[in-house]
Amino acid sequence: MNSNNFWKLLGALGLSFLLPWLFLIVIPFIGASNAEPVAYGADEEMEGGVLAYPDKSFLRHGASDYGRQIYAAEGCAYCHTQMVRPTYAGPDMWRPGWGGREAEGLARETQPMDYVMEDFALLGYQRIGQDLSNVGHRITTRELMHRHLSDPKSFDPDSGMPAYRHLYRQSPYGSGLVPTPEAEALVDYLLSLKKDQALPARVLSGR
Amino acid sequence: MTVPQPTPEDLNERAAIDRSARYPVMFFFTSAAAWLLFATVMGFVSSLKLRVPGLWDACPFMGYGRLFPVHFNALVYGWAMQAGIGVMLWLMARLTRSRVQHPVALIVFGHLWNLGVIVAVGSIWFGASRSIPLLDFPAWLWPVLAVSYGCMVVWVIPMFHSRRNTLFYVSELYLIGAAVWFPWIFITANLIINKGTAPVMGAGANAWYISNLIYFWMAPVALAVAYYIIPKISGRAIYSYPLAQASFWLLAVLAGWTGFSRYMGGPFPAWMPAVSGAAAIFILLAIVATVANLMLTLKGCTKLWEYSPSLRFTMLGMLMLALYAVLSAMSSTFVFGKNLQFSHFLVGIDTLAFYGFFSMTMFGAIYFIVPRITGAEWPSGSRIRTHFWFSTYGILTMVVTMLVGGIAQGGNLAQWNQVFSASFVNSSAYVVGRAIAWLLISFSNLLFLTQLGLMFLGKGRKTEGATLLHKEPGEASSAREVVGIQ
């Protein structure tokens, strides 16, 4: 093979890959990078003086960043998704509580901006357990969340979730369990999982 | 059509190339096979853990969320990529009639790669995983893997550049494609994920990476092997050379668009999963044309399948590739995808890619290459037969139970008014199938590793004649002779 053909071939191999690389990955990535919060319009009144979507105080909770690391390290994302699909792609929105606060009319599928507080959206791999996009609305107290982690079968005897006993220590004062700092951080993170903030009109019309 | 018979000079040259490849390639194969055994045992343990969640749950190292990524990463980076790199080096050297240069550097970077995989797997197991499928390892590790891959595979390009043949092989196209595409995909996916400024695009890049790893690296390497082994063993030229070239370019143009359909309905612009789904469907054309082309090459001499281990593994691998392409196209449509997404089907189809078509083809290549580079024959044909059948039944059990189990689980997930745990309870029987599949596969790979270890230590058979599947050793020099072709 003469060297002219060689470079032509490499060029063709590169070009065939360059197009999807550019249009499917690089350009959408640059477009989505460093997304700024979207302010609510003047006529959209939000409870509690919230000014923009996503609201940081809404999504950050205690040591939730460390808790997110624990969530990833334990591989929670291999069984739990954080992605509520629209009804044309699955019945997620019909599951009670998956889409968010239904009673307040806030239930919706997840949006790209819902994940901006994280550095990687843990959308998940399989759905062995429930979707956790809005678990912070379904399990609301620390005590219940700890019980879910340390003894999931006490809620549903058929649950397929293992007990995360290594995140808890035996209490020196009796039969109870004492959470480690890791467990506390994980609970902070799980309680912060709420992806149902009301969307500003600009986000809705921009789709 | 027949191929010309080699002259004595050709044979001497081949022997010299094989000798130059011996130490690095044997190193890659043996360490890959050790990783494979580890990965398949972990596959069994993780499946068992999914069936019995309460098992050893006080031990942090025994959570499914750690075991499964350990198994997955060991399978892909420990076994698949390492075996693939060994095959790429040997095959490119043989095709371009050039020797493998710098064997010491190859072995050094091979050790660096192995060290990288050990750290990756260890960090996942000891709680530093990032839950990013196949890129779970800590962020600082990816340059190590990228550099050692680059320093091992870069030698393929000068070999190709200095080729002296007038004939142009399709295998060379696939090999050179795989060599240049993979680093590009790997670096892009890692940069985007570690930059962390667009979290949703990070998840998208991850799905794109897995799909591209399969269609832009595994499929090309496996097809390069098939385009080499099938004509070589049958003694015939490829059925249609233009078709082979056309389907190569079709795959090259389409594969980069796949991947996003894994997250269809997710928080992406709707066109992205749609484009990926369409690409996965059009890729069927390329894959089916390629597999048909290879099978038509074998028309009239399929009896060779009974004797040649390389051909048998390679043919099965190609059929599995066609099956993979069909299933992945099917699951990229809303009709099937919305129920199969996130179900056991996903594990089934990923395993079909990593073990079904890629590993089977690699076994075919290894059974072909190792006797040539070590100058000895495989110790036992019946062990190869056992390896084949246990692997085949294992992967079929895996695919069938995960496909049917995925449909059952997806159906349960779709029943929104049912208790959620019903989907777990109803699909747990299929997880037993998955555990049994990994048990069968682990056993077959134990045999494979011991056979390969004997060859590595120079304990292979030194008598004349290839080790065939159904023939006393030493009677015939090749499967073709037994079947009586030419």
Question: Higher pLDDT residue, A189 or B5?
Answer: A189
User: Measured between alpha carbons, how far apart are the two ends of chain A, in Å?
Assistant: 51
CA of A135: how far to CAs of A132, A148, A192, B229, in Å? 5, 11, 8, 53
What is the CB neighbour count within 10 angstroms for residue B382?
12
Q: What is the pLDDT of residues A143-197, one digit of tens each?
A: 999 999 999 999 999 999 999 999 999 888 888 889 999 999 999 999 999 998 8
User: Measured between alpha carbons, how far apart are the two ends of chain B, in Å?
Assistant: 11
Q: If we measure between CA atoms, which residue out of A76, A202, A28 comes closest to residue B188?
A: A28
Q: Is A34 left (phi over 0), alpha (psi -120 to 50) or beta?
A: left
The whole-number average pLDDT for the span B253-258 is: 95
A19-28, A174-183, B33-42, B163-172: range with lowest mean pLDDT: B163-172
* C-alpha to C-alpha distance for A126 and B348, rounded to whole angstroms: 11
- B4 is a domain residue: no
Put simply, whether A33 touches B (Cβ < 8 Å) is yes
DSSP secondary structure code for residue B461 in this structure? B
The whole-number average pLDDT for the span B454-472 is: 82
Instruction: Write the DSSP string, B194-208.
Output: HH-SSHHHHHHHHHH
Q: How far is A150 from chain B (nearest CA, A)?
A: 10
CA dihedral (B412, B415, B416, B420) in degrees, to 10, reads: -20
Residue with tokens 């929670």: A76
Q: Do A90 and B177 touch (CB under 8 A)?
A: no
Q: If we measure between CA atoms, which residue out of B287, B277, B396, B284 comes closest to residue B337?
A: B277
As beta bridge partners, residue A178 has: A169
Q: Do B180 and A158 touch (CB under 8 A)?
A: no
Nearest-by-Cβ selection for A25 from B132, B205, B252: B205
Provide, as residue numbers in chain A, all residues whose Cβ is less than 8 Å from the Cβ of B196: 119-120
Specify the amino acid at residue B433. G
* Cβ atoms of residues B206 and B278 within 8 Å: no
Q: If we measure between CA atoms, which residue out of A107, A81, A194, A137 comes closest to residue B420?
A: A81
Nearest-by-Cβ selection for A16 from B128, B193, B252: B252
Q: Do B69 and A163 touch (CB under 8 A)?
A: no
Asked whether residue A82 carries a pLDDT value surpassing 60, the answer given is: yes
Put simply, whether B249 touches A (Cβ < 8 Å) is yes
What is the domain partition of chain A in residue ranges?
1-33, 54-205
Q: Where are the alpha helices (DSSP H) in B415-473?
A: 421-456
As beta bridge partners, residue B85 has: none
The whole-number average pLDDT for the span B396-418 is: 92
Provide, as residue numbers in chain A, all residues whose Cβ is less than 8 Å from the Cβ of B68: 75, 78
Question: Higher pLDDT residue, A176 or B74?
Answer: B74
How many domains does chain B divide into?
Answer: 1
Asked whether residue A2 carries a pLDDT value surpassing 70, the answer given is: no
Question: Higher pLDDT residue, B333 or B4?
Answer: B333
* Cβ atoms of residues A59 and A115 within 8 Å: no
The whole-number average pLDDT for the span B6-11 is: 85
Q: If we measure between CA atoms, which residue out of B82, B139, B140 comes closest to residue B113?
A: B82
* C-alpha to C-alpha distance for B186 and B203, rounded to whole angstroms: 14
Residue A72's SS3 state is: helix
- B470 is a domain residue: yes
As beta bridge partners, residue A177 has: A170
Residue B141 token pair: 């590790």
* Cβ atoms of residues B399 and B441 within 8 Å: no
pLDDT at B97: 87
* Cβ atoms of residues A152 and A161 within 8 Å: yes
Q: In which band, very low, low, confident or very high, does the pLDDT at A207 lie, cut at 50, 70 and 90?
A: very low
The CB-side HSE value for B325 (13 A sphere, CA atoms) comes to 23
* C-alpha to C-alpha distance for A174 and B89, rounded to whole angstroms: 63
What is the CB neighbour count within 10 angstroms for residue A127?
24
Range of the domain at B124: 18-483
Question: Higher pLDDT residue, B295 or A44?
Answer: B295
Q: Which residues contact B423 (CB under 8 A, 6 or more apart)?
A: B409, B412, B413
* C-alpha to C-alpha distance for B105 and B155, rounded to whole angstroms: 11
- B476 is a domain residue: yes
Asked whether residue A98 carries a pLDDT value surpassing 80, the answer given is: yes
pLDDT at B220: 96
Asked whether residue B1 carries a pLDDT value surpassing 60, the answer given is: no
Q: In which band, very low, low, confident or very high, does the pLDDT at B165 lie, cut at 50, 70 and 90?
A: low
pLDDT at B140: 94
Which residue in chain B is spatially nearest to A112 when comparing CA positions?
Answer: B267
Task: Using only the alpha carbons of chain A, give its radius of gyration.
Answer: 22
Share of chain B above pLDDT 70, in %: 97
pLDDT at B2: 54
Domain at A54-205, CATH class: mainly alpha
Provide, as residue numbers in chain A, all residues whose Cβ is less than 8 Å from the Cβ of B50: 128, 160
- B327 is a domain residue: yes
ipTM tops 0.85: yes
* C-alpha to C-alpha distance for B268 and B6, rounded to whole angstroms: 56
Provide, as residue numbers in chain B, all residues whose Cβ is less than 8 Å from the Cβ of A164: 57, 63
Specify the amino acid at residue B175. L
Q: Indicate which CATH number applies to the domain containing B324.
A: 1.20.210.10
Which residue in chain B is spatially nearest to A86 when comparing CA positions?
Answer: B265
Asked, as a colleague might, if the bond just before B133 is cis with ω within 30 of 0, I would say no
- B240 is a domain residue: yes
Q: Which residues contact B136 (CB under 8 A, 6 or more apart)?
A: B69, B73, B120, B124, B129, B130
pLDDT at B434: 95
Q: What is the pLDDT of residues A9-67, one digit of tens each?
A: 889 999 999 999 999 999 999 999 988 888 888 888 777 778 888 887 766 777 889 99
* Cβ atoms of residues B421 and B336 within 8 Å: no
* C-alpha to C-alpha distance for B114 and B106, rounded to whole angstroms: 12
Q: Do A21 and B253 touch (CB under 8 A)?
A: no
- B419 is a domain residue: yes
Residue B29's SS3 state is: helix
pLDDT at A40: 87
